[in-house]
Amino acid sequence: MADPQAPGPVSVQNVTGPHSGPHGTADPAEPMGSEPPQSELTASGPTASGPTASGLTASGADGPREPQWRVASSAIGLWTVQEIIGALFLLIPAMAASLFVPDAAPRWLVVTSDILPWALAAFFLAEVVVLPRYKYAVHRWEVTPDGIYTLTGWLSRTWILVPISRIQTVDVTRGPLQRMFGLATVSVRTASAQGSVEIEQLEAYTAAQVADDLSKRANLYDDDAT
């Protein structure tokens, strides 16, 4: 599932570049009419946008605009594995429990215990197939000229915009699963106890580039970012 097009030390443009999703061929031209580029990332950003922004996940009438870039496509694989693990944690006990229901139990209990594991299994199967793809379709992030902008959540959606001038620390973390998929998470913290932004499931190289770029630019601001 890993995105094949991330070879070694190439320019950021190639890496942040098009993870061509289910729809949306990346359109490398057309920089958006914004401020002069302050970083390579911002300059190269729009390459990842293209039609995705107006696709099936367009934010509709009510939200702010969507961040332009998708997470790495291998995130689908990672999320699938995570969902399977989570599902097994519930399924196995349910199956085991259904084995131990004695035949002498009330009829409704026996019937339920026969059906329930299969119903659960069907539900989880659907979830494992659908959810990662849906998440991939709705999760977005972007480094804007002045900030870091994310959109997460699939039922209730959360947009977070943090200006680079107020960044306190930038961390890159990689869990064991993420390592298997070549992914990483960038965590951006601010002075606010509740003001941290996480961009999950970026390609490791992209994550390192983003973290580096953000912390460099954050350091250009000469105050204590409060």
Partner 1 sequence: MQPEPNRPIEVDPNQPTQGGPESNDSTQGRPDSGEGDVAVAGVEGEPGPARTSPKVIAIHALTIRGLREAIPGLVAAFAWLQVSGGVRSFGIVGILLAAAAALVGLAALSWYRFTYQVANRQLIISQGIFSRRVRTIPVDRIRAIDSQVNPLHRVLGLARLKIEAAAAGTGNEEAEIDGLPTETAAVLRGDLLRARRRPAASAASSATGADRDGSRTTEAGPRPAGGFDAHRRSDGHPDEAGTELLDEPLEEVEYSRSRLSWLLYAPLVGSYLAIPLAGLVFLSQFVDDLPDSWFSWANVDPSTFSAADFVLAGLGLVGLLAIGAVIGAVFLNWRFLLVKRGELMVSERGLLTRRTVSVEIPRIRGYTLSEGLGMRLVRAARLTALITGVSTANSRSQLLPLGPRREAVDVAERAVRRFDSPLRRHPPAALRRRLVRAVLPGAAVLVTGLILGVVAVIIVGVALTILGIPLGIDRYRSLGHGSDGESFAVRSGSLVRQTTVMQRRAVVGWKVQQSLFQKRAGVSTVTALVGAGTGAYSALDADSADALNLAASNGGRWARELRPQPEAHR
- Binding-site ranges for partner 1 (CB under 8 A): 35, 59-65, 144-147, 149, 155-166, 168-169, 190-195, 197, 215-216, 218-226
Rounded to the nearest whole angstrom, what is the least distance from the CB of residue 188 to partner 1 in the complex? Answer: 9
**Residue 17 tokens, joined:** 């570049």
Number of neighbours of residue 113 by Cβ within 10 angstroms: 17
Rounded to the nearest whole angstrom, what is the least distance from the CB of residue 58 to partner 1 in the complex? Answer: 10
The backbone torsions φ and ψ at residue 183, rounded to the nearest 5 degrees and listed phi first, read -115, 170
**Nearer of residues 103 and 222 to partner 1, judged by Cβ:** 222
Distance, CA of 41 to CA of 33 (rounded, Å)? 15
Rounded to the nearest whole angstrom, what is the least distance from the CB of residue 194 to partner 1 in the complex? Answer: 4
Number of neighbours of residue 63 by Cβ within 10 angstroms: 12
Inter-CA distances, 225 with 165, 192, 222, Å? 6, 10, 8
**Nearer of residues 121 and 161 to partner 1, judged by Cβ:** 161
**Nearer of residues 108 and 158 to partner 1, judged by Cβ:** 158
Distance, CA of 66 to CA of 221 (rounded, Å)? 27
Rounded to the nearest whole angstrom, what is the least distance from the CB of residue 212 to partner 1 in the complex? Answer: 12
Rounded to the nearest whole angstrom, what is the least distance from the CB of residue 53 to partner 1 in the complex? Answer: 11
- Three-class SS state of 189: strand
**Nearer of residues 15 and 197 to partner 1, judged by Cβ:** 197
**Nearer of residues 14 and 165 to partner 1, judged by Cβ:** 165
**Nearer of residues 25 and 219 to partner 1, judged by Cβ:** 219
* In contact, 131 and 79? CB cutoff 8 Å: yes
* In contact, 137 and 57? CB cutoff 8 Å: yes
**Residue 177 tokens, joined:** 């699963």
**Residue 158 tokens, joined:** 């959360």
Rounded to the nearest whole angstrom, what is the least distance from the CB of residue 145 to partner 1 in the complex? Answer: 8
Distance, CA of 98 to CA of 105 (rounded, Å)? 12
**Residue 131 tokens, joined:** 């959810």
**Nearer of residues 103 and 224 to partner 1, judged by Cβ:** 224
Rounded to the nearest whole angstrom, what is the least distance from the CB of residue 221 to partner 1 in the complex? Answer: 7
